[in-house]
């Protein structure tokens, strides 16, 4: 007999004896008393509880426009002034000092507010029937503008990366709150039994400043936390069985763990035990589903060219294609982090590289979802944690500092209004001045599209009800189709 099989059988015997003496030996009197008193809970204590799937599909508050989310998070903060928000006045006043009234009481992360203006580094032109104005760095997105809603009046409360990223993803600048993806699966559950409900990819130069808190579950049960996939090989380390362990041995081992965990769950009622059971079973099922999912070689050459994807290579393009494949397979929330956008210097060269690495695949994702009939109920979101200053940073006059007062994002599908350009900034791109959209407003609107009243999607923790939008947030009606 295989040594591992012997160990499993021995553990079964030990569990049976230990469980009997621990759970039944000292409790026989209680069972007898319960029987006399007619206590149904005592009479059925030996029966294993029916385990409810914590990710079973749930009904939202109202009919949703969207059922899935793909969030392309451009960590480091792209420059709105060089990509989406053209300001001729910045070109006119390039190299001059900003008006004192503009920078009064303004605090930047690194530069002095009185630093000189820096004009846009690239040309802009209008595209599509909507006439959306985009930078020359965005040739692929320029073909998708009539399917996109561009918001040029975003603003936030934080001006350093970690708190701003946490705020954009959790609605709080403090660590420990659930992410937008976690709230989504908490409210809607999952449509897939073979894959996690919330999947995360990361690409670019380094990890995000906010770390795993960007996709964490906070105080929600940990089953709602994002699962970080690798871009090549096994999506999760140790998903493959070690040598000498076949499917039967693994199934026997998991069955033993399942019995142990169910007994513990019956005793203490901790939802984290249900999460553990679900995680073990999910990993087992993923051993069949994940290899097929990660194999991009089955995609057509035309699709691979469309994204710029290369099977077996780790890239943002591959991650975008994987995001479409995951949504097709019922994954509720997919988030792609690409950390490369913090251009305090070397602005022009780095922006060109960042757009080469990400822009084609972002546009292809929208087009591919549309042609497959998936865009109607999938929201695609693109954006970072804040904007960049109209004032220059860097000795070579080629950088921009962090800027919370104004930045741009775009969305497509899932009930967002296509061909819309919403909001304006002032003539220098310094402040959002019309149709302003705060981070809480964005979250309220996205939850509305997913079928939720953002004031009612709550979780009680430490004596009060928490929500993604805290005590803020207004639905931006103009964003809705």
Is-contact 337 204, C-beta < 8 A? yes
Q: In the structure encoding, which two tokens stand for residue 212, read together? A: 């795993």
Strand runs labelled E in 137-281: 148-155, 198-204, 227-228
The predicted pLDDT at position 397 comes to 82
| Cα distances (angstroms) measured from residue 117 to each of 137, 341, 406 | 21, 20, 16
Computed over every residue of the chain, the mean pLDDT equals: 87
pLDDT band, very low/low/confident/very high, at 215 (cuts 50, 70, 90): very high
| Mean pLDDT (whole number) for 201-218 | 91
Task: Please report the pLDDT score of residue 23 as a whole number.
Answer: 47
What per-residue confidence (pLDDT) applies to 3? Answer: 54
Q: What is the mean pLDDT of residues 389-400?
A: 89
Helix then strand count (H, E) for the chain reads: 14, 17
pLDDT single digits (tens) 156-193:
999 999 999 999 999 999 999 999 999 999 999 999 88
Asked whether residue 242 carries a pLDDT value surpassing 90, the answer given is no
User: pTM for the complete prediction?
Assistant: 0.84
**pLDDT score recorded for residue 306:** 98
The predicted-structure confidence for 294-349, as pLDDT tens digits, reads as follows 889 989 999 999 999 999 889 999 999 999 999 999 999 999 999 999 999 999 99
Token pair in block for residue 213: 């808190």
Confidence (pLDDT) at 238? 57
CA 439 to chain centre: 15
370 conformational bin, left if phi > 0, alpha if psi -120 to 50, beta if neither: alpha
Please give the pLDDT value at position 204: 86
* pLDDT at residue 378, rounded to an integer: 98
Residue range 355-366: mean pLDDT, rounded? 98
Which domains, and CATH codes, for the chain? 1-45 (no CATH), 68-242+261-479 (3.40.720.10)
- The backbone torsions φ and ψ at residue 61, rounded to the nearest 5 degrees and listed phi first, read -75, -35
- From CA 299, how far away is CA 408, in angstroms rounded? 33
Nearest to 386 by CA among 120, 85, 162, 159: 159
- What contacts 371, CB < 8 A, 6 or more positions away? none
């Amino acid at each position: 007999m295989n040594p591992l099989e012997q160990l499993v059988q021995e553990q079964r015997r030990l569990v049976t004896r230990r469980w009997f003496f621990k759970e039944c030996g000292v409790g026989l009197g209680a069972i007898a008393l319960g029987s006399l008193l007619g206590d149904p809970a005592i009479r059925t204590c030996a029966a294993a509880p029916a385990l409810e799937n914590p990710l079973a599909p749930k009904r939202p508050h109202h009919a949703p426009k969207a059922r899935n989310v793909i969030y392309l998070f451009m960590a480091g903060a792209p420059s709105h002034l060089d990509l989406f928000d053209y300001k001729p006045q910045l070109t006119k006043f390039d190299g001059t000092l900003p008006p004192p009234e503009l920078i009064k009481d303004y605090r930047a992360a690194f530069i002095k507010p009185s630093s000189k203006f820096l004009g846009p580094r690239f040309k802009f032109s209008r595209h599509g029937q909507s006439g959306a104005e985009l930078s020359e760095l965005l040739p692929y997105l320029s073909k998708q503008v009539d399917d996109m809603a561009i918001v040029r009046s975003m603003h936030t409360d934080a001006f350093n990366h970690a708190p701003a990223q946490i705020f954009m993803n959790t609605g709080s600048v403090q660590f420990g709150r659930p992410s937008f993806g976690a709230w989504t699966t908490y409210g809607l559950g999952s449509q897939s039994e073979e894959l996690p409900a919330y999947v995360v990819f990361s690409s670019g130069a380094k990890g995000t400043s906010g770390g795993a808190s960007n996709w964490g579950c906070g105080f929600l049960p940990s089953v709602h936390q994002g699962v970080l996939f690798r871009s090549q090989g096994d999506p999760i380390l140790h998903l493959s069985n070690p040598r000498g362990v076949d499917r039967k041995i693994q199934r026997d081992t998991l069955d033993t763990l399942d019995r142990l965990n169910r007994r513990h769950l019956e005793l203490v009622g901790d939802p984290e035990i249900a999460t553990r059971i679900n995680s073990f079973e999910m990993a087992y099922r993923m051993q069949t589903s994940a290899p097929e999912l990660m194999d991009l070689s089955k995609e057509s050459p035309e699709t691979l060219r469309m994204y710029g994807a290369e099977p077996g290579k780790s890239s943002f393009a591959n991650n975008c294609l994987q995001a479409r494949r995951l949504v097709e397979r019922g994954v509720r929330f997919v988030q792609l982090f690409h950390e490369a956008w913090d251009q305090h210097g070397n602005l022009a060269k780095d922006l060109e590289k960042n757009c080469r690495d990400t822009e084609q695949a972002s546009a292809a994702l929208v087009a591919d979802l549309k042609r497959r009939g998936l865009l109607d109920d999938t929201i695609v979101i693109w954006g970072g944690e804040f904007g960049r200053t109209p004032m220059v940073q860097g000795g070579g006059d080629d950088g921009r500092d962090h800027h919370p007062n104004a930045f741009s994002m775009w969305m497509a599908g899932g009930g967002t209004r296509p061909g819309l350009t919403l909001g304006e900034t002032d003539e220098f791109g310094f402040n959002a001045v019309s149709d302003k959209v705060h981070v809480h407003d964005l979250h309220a609107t996205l939850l509305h599209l997913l079928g939720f009243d953002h004031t009612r999607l709550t979780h009680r923790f430490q004596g009060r009800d928490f929500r993604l939008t805290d005590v803020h947030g207004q639905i931006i009606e103009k964003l809705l189709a």
